[in-house]
Structure 1
Amino acid sequence: MVIKKSKKKRKKRVHIERNREEDDVHLWEDYFSETPTYPKNLFRRRFRMNKPLFMRIVDQLSIEVELFRQKKDALGRLNLSPLQMCTAAIRILAYGNAADAVDEYLRLGETTTMSCLEHFVEGIIYLFGDEYLRRPTLADLQRLLEVGEFRGFPEMIGSIDCMHWEWKNCLTAWKGQYSRGSGKPTIFLEAVASFDLWIWHAIFGPPGTLNDINVLDLSLVFDDIIQGQAPQVTYSVKGREYHLAYYLTDGIYLKWTTFIQSIQEPQGPKAVLFAKQQKAVRKDVERAFGVLQARFAIVKNLAIFLGQSQNWEDYESMYHTP
């Protein structure tokens, strides 16, 4: 007897008429018209940037990235506008909401919003990486050295530290590799930040089971030193001369000449003063992490948009554009 297997009927995709043109007009009148409903201070608060900067991003993406070019569909109707798609991406980054949270206002479905977010961040890196996501130039280094000397740490070029980002959708097979301590999978971010919140070095994506020292072995922060391109400086401590700029760190880092840690149990007024100043200046990188999470809540909340194809190797060189 032959048993015939019944084929499952493929579900038809449900079409929802979202009236995207009407909501594009509402968005324009709310924020981008000559007399917008919401003033510029509310725009900055909700978009996490000023309007000229946002418009510059929208213009560049609409020219360079195919997804953000507004076209007509088969019925001759205009697709979503670049303003709608970029606003959706910014709202997800700023508030860390679910992908369909912007549907009621911006009229984008969940899959469309996720596609906009992915193309938005990739477009930002591609278009503005050479200008902003880069290593310091000679002029930048000179400025960092001058500020470090003014703050009491001559030849200091920044503070280095790490943070964990909990990964909600981590694969079960990878959970042991990415979990430590609390048992929740996390992704590692190492960064060097300056006094003005400029994160000029970052490596994102290593498994959360690593610590600051393990990640340091993977990062590219010391490539300039290895290649002999590090800034030439000279200073002396207790009669000994040094020729490398240094970073301020916490106690977990190794006792290298490029790391200046605080004194754990300071004895005497000089040691107490040094420990106090070192901890205060080292807060630059922790403050940068705090501002990053405050302005872009997607970093503060659980990482829900990362899938199995996004591993740390994809992100290793994000801040190391030539």
Structure 2
Amino acid sequence: MPSALPSSTFRRSIRCGRVTTRSRSGETTVARYRGVIIANGTLSKPNIPTFRGDFAGTLMHTSEYRSAEIFRGKRVLVIGAGNSGCDIAVDAVHQAECVDLSVRRGYYFVPKYLFGRPSDTLNQGKPLPPWIKQRVDTLVLKQFTGDPVRFGFPAPDYKIYESHPVVNSLILHHIGHGDVHVRADVDRFEGKTVRFVDGSSADYDLVLCATGYHLDYPFIAREDLDWSGAAPDLFLNVASRRHDNLFVLGMVEASGLGWQGRYEQAELVAKLITARTEAPAAAREFSAAAAGPPPDLSGGYKYLKLGRMAYYVNKDAYRSAIRRHIGLLDAALTKGGQ
């Protein structure tokens, strides 16, 4: 596999339409491309918190998790109750001596199925206003999952959909049956003892950090992506505002977006690259839009100001914006081909 040259070399390659790669043997190759697409994903650099003290047992991140066999007969603490943390805690129940789940904030738990259908397929028509959907869905969830506070979780300090919900109701099942216990945020390690911020403590053999990932595009300078905060500032989370031929695919999160949203990202990029030569006026209009004020992709929701939410969008608002630009390029390409 070729390895990227330093970002300065890669940056010059973007400007002149050339990409230079270097193999492990040191051989360089130069090729000219109509576009450069970064698609190394958002889950490559684990976010590993810094803890006070030292843990004498096994400390690992979800990125290292392969099989629930590692939990067999162990006292396990999972830090973080996002989707990965809850899924792994449910796995651990069947192998571990005991399982605890450390959390710092409240969560909304959504069953994978509601009314016999996948929960993310409901309300596929015209989107409801945020305040109505939040109120209705909160009431529906209480009927299906109950109040998570009763299971030991803190009360959420935000409304549903202002952060990514946890699509897992099995964790509540196991907590309700005493298979998993909810713990407060970690304060420090002392050997195999973990002390929590509420003053409680317990001993563990294995601590697993389900603490997410940092965005990482190490082969390109941050200024090329207008990266000043927790995530690059890209038009529609896809297109560089500095380089007409530089794109990032997959840097998007939204409840219910699924693979269809990523497919539409790729479709937009493919049509835009084609339009650069076959419908240049339409391509210039896209570039002008990319250089202008960013569109509101929140759908009216007030997302939490967290690093992991920096590239979060509303599914309906996002797909509508992407499809609108696809439609404009389609029309121009069809007209140009006649």
Q: TM-score range by the shorter chain?
A: under 0.3
Q: Point out the structure with the larger helix share.
A: 1
User: Normalised by the size of structure 1, how large is the TM-score?
Assistant: 0.26
Q: Point out the structure with the larger strand share.
A: 2
Larger radius of gyration: 1
Which structure's relative contact order is higher, taking Cα pairs within 8 Å and 6+ residues apart? 2
User: Normalised by the size of structure 2, how large is the TM-score?
Assistant: 0.25
